[in-house]
Chain A
Amino acid sequence: MAEQTLTLRNLKVVFPSGMGLIRAVEGVDIDIGKGESIALVGESGCGKSVTSMSIMKLIESPPAITKMDQLTFAGDDIKDYTPSQMQSVRGKMMAMIFQDAMTSLNPVMTCGKQIDEMFMRHMQLNKKAAREETVKALELVGVPEPRKRAKNFPHELSGGMRQRVLLAMAFACMPKLIIADEPTTALDVTIQAQVLSVLRDMQKKHDVSLLVVTHDLSVVANIADTVYVMYSGKIVEKASVKQLFKQPFHPYSAGLLASVPSLSDTAGHFVQIPGSVPHPMKKPTGCYFHPRCHYAKDKCKASMPPLSAHDDGRQVRCFYPLKTNGGTSNV
């Protein structure tokens, strides 16, 4: 791996509540190389959004208690950055694309003005120059008639256009890392295809690192190079996209993959993972996945398996990983 954009070691986030501690993230390590596209996959409540927000230091503390061993971004140690120092990093060096374009854009400001702010704040441009840059940025993400659109308010644009405005805003200062939190969940399939292709093209063209947070494995298959699968606050598997879709090692990843209906499937019963995600305050002992796992043995109930390394940089948190040649049978 040539150049590291982001190194995160042992991130822990805890939310104290009246009834006990909610351990949202328990020791997550993430590495993102330059120009790499990483996906963080998991069900709701598994801590994937909290992880991405902690990288940007957007988790307010208090109430949250955030601990990490290392957070290196573009060669700088930003672990102990103060909020005001972070402000010069956010937007300029790393940017975020949020899920719901309607709520993350300011409804009383025109779209153009919101992007102008990026240039005025981070590049010290004047109003006029900023607007020129905005028009260019909008053009890049494929907004037709960018000069006219820049004068529109968010509610005057369609869902796909709004998402493009967010993309333009994220790419405005050509940051080193873009975090996209469920970038296409609120969109229709045809619009989703549009937005993803724009995102992919922009990322490749400008050699930006990308962290996509999503629950949709089909999005992952189309945009990411490396996948981290999260379950209940822990990484359970790390693999390249090709490897993961070919042969998942962790039973949870396998179940997740099998339960996604696909066009190439023949009709019939859907494969399902029994049960549901454990409550964050009542996590089971041992491996968090064992109550839902077909292959669970006594050892899984007693202790948490470590994240062990396998060939080709794969990591799996399971005592009995599924392997075609291994002892455990295939799914």
Chain B
Amino acid sequence: MSETKVNPIVDMRHVSVDFPVKGALPFIRKGCIQAVSDVSLTIHRGETFGIVGESGCGKSTLANAMIGMVKPTAGEVVFDGKNLYELSRDDFKATRRDMQMIFQDPFSSLNPRFNVYQIISEPMFIRGQDSEATMKARVIELLELVGLSKDDLYRYPSDFSGGQRQRLGIARAIILNPTFLVCDEPVSALDVSVHAQILNLLTDIQKKLKLTYVFISHNLAVVKSICDRMIVMYLGKIMEAGNVKTIFDNPLHPYTHALLSAVLDTDQTKQREQVILKGDIPSPIDPPKGCRFYQRCPKAMEGCKTIPAPEITVEEDHVVACHYVNGFPESVEKGEGYDTPLKQQADE
């Protein structure tokens, strides 16, 4: 596989993740939350892959399924040629070393009772192959890489600011030389002036260590600057996927449009037209049968209610799942007046 030019590091095929919900009372119907439903994607080696969406759209669950933290209810995840969920326990553990995660909140993801050395060396300590001296040397090396000094070795997380804590989180994530790193909103808990520092650090490390990143964010401006390819998710489904440049130059899905216009620009000269979405993201317990976005979509038609929108490649490296863009599929039975615009409800 390594000879081919396109060399996927992660390949997800029709992955769905459902979480069962128990009814409050025994006779109430039990449902399940479809956090991710039928998502297929490939991530190439060395790229930065962005996952964008509102909270509750399943982006974190998708990333967790990618690195084997949540077992998908359907579909398969192939990491580096190996199907993650069919590996034996030992093989799985060995594979897991190649993937690491950087968490959103640097305040709750570091153990307050561990000092810096213990925090960063923990993955190595658990692997149990190195002597104390090698671990210490490696930790110091990493501290310098992330812009801290070896004087910080025995300090505790409470001594550090948010940005410095996130640096510790990054050092911990890369200590075992992973090839694949999931960054789950790495800067959203930090101050604006520190955002740039952490993002620059991440891109520098990527170049130095030739890592593949999955970058989860709701900040489209950040995604635009650092990602190569991206997907836009809504209620567990991919709405639009492809090359970042293509999507930003030519966003096709109405949801992508709305997301883009919701990003406030600091540039006063460029006040763009705002599409303000009505209502909130619906509950994933009982998602709409058709297109999942139809209730909030300004372009929705009658048919969108019942006919699911398939993902269709519109141009090279650009996939869109929308009836408005692609037209309704011919093979599906359509009701009367399927292409009349859906009347928007008062305010929901």
- Distance (whole angstroms) from the CB of A260 to the closest CB of chain B: 6
Specify which chain A residues have a CB less than 8 angstroms from the CB of B161 in the assembled complex: 276-277
Stretch at the interface among B15-23, B127-135, B189-197: B189-197
* B316 sits at the interface (CB 8 A): no
Stretch at the interface among B69-77, B96-104, B273-281, B284-292: B273-281
List A residues 267-281 near B (Cβ within 8 Å): 267-274, 276-277
Stretch at the interface among A32-40, A127-135, A239-247: A239-247
* A123 sits at the interface (CB 8 A): no
**Complex: how many Å from CA A161 to CA B262?**
17
**Which of the residues A159, A256, A262, A269 comes within 8 Å of B265, measured between beta carbons?**
A262
Known pairs A270-B200, A272-B193, A276-B163; A261 contacts B221 (CB<8 A):
yes
- Distance (whole angstroms) from the CB of B256 to the closest CB of chain A: 11
**Complex: how many Å from CA A272 to CA B147?**
14
0/1 per residue, A201-217, Cβ < 8 Å to B?
00000000000000111
* Cβ–Cβ contact B263 & A189, under 8 A: yes
* Cβ–Cβ contact A242 & B268, under 8 A: yes
* Cβ–Cβ contact B262 & A271, under 8 A: no
* Cβ–Cβ contact A192 & B347, under 8 A: no
Specify which chain A residues have a CB less than 8 angstroms from the CB of B192 in the assembled complex: 43, 215-217, 256, 259-260
Known pairs A262-B266, A270-B195, A270-B196; A158 contacts B163 (CB<8 A):
no
* Cβ–Cβ contact A215 & B191, under 8 A: yes
**Complex: how many Å from CA A270 to CA B163?**
15
* B148 sits at the interface (CB 8 A): no
**Complex: how many Å from CA A189 to CA B277?**
10
- Distance (whole angstroms) from the CB of B204 to the closest CB of chain A: 9
List B residues 241-277 near A (Cβ within 8 Å): 248, 258-268, 270, 274, 276-277
Specify which chain B residues have a CB less than 8 angstroms from the CB of A269 in the assembled complex: 200, 203
* Cβ–Cβ contact B226 & A271, under 8 A: no
* B55 sits at the interface (CB 8 A): yes
* Cβ–Cβ contact A193 & B266, under 8 A: no
Specify which chain B residues have a CB less than 8 angstroms from the CB of A268 in the assembled complex: 225
* Cβ–Cβ contact A188 & B224, under 8 A: no
Specify which chain A residues have a CB less than 8 angstroms from the CB of B276 in the assembled complex: 190, 193-194, 197
* B39 sits at the interface (CB 8 A): no
Known pairs A190-B259, A261-B222; A241 contacts B347 (CB<8 A):
no
* Cβ–Cβ contact B193 & A256, under 8 A: yes
* A124 sits at the interface (CB 8 A): no
Known pairs A144-B348, A270-B195; A218 contacts B200 (CB<8 A):
no
Specify which chain B residues have a CB less than 8 angstroms from the CB of A245 in the assembled complex: 266-268
Chain B contact residues, CB within 8 Å of chain A: 54-55, 161-164, 191-197, 199-200, 203, 218-222, 224-226, 248, 258-268, 270, 274, 276-278, 280-281, 346-348
Given contacts A44-B191, A197-B276, 16 further A-B contacts (CB under 8 A): A144-B346, A188-B54, A189-B262, A194-B276, A221-B264, A221-B268, A245-B268, A260-B221, A260-B266, A261-B221, A262-B265, A264-B265, A267-B225, A269-B200, A272-B197, A276-B194
Chain A contact residues, CB within 8 Å of chain B: 43-44, 142, 144, 158-161, 188-194, 196-197, 215-219, 221-222, 241-242, 245-246, 255-257, 259-265, 267-274, 276-277
What would be 8 A-B contacts, judged by CB atoms less than 8 Å apart?
A189-B219, A194-B277, A216-B192, A218-B266, A260-B221, A263-B260, A265-B224, A267-B224
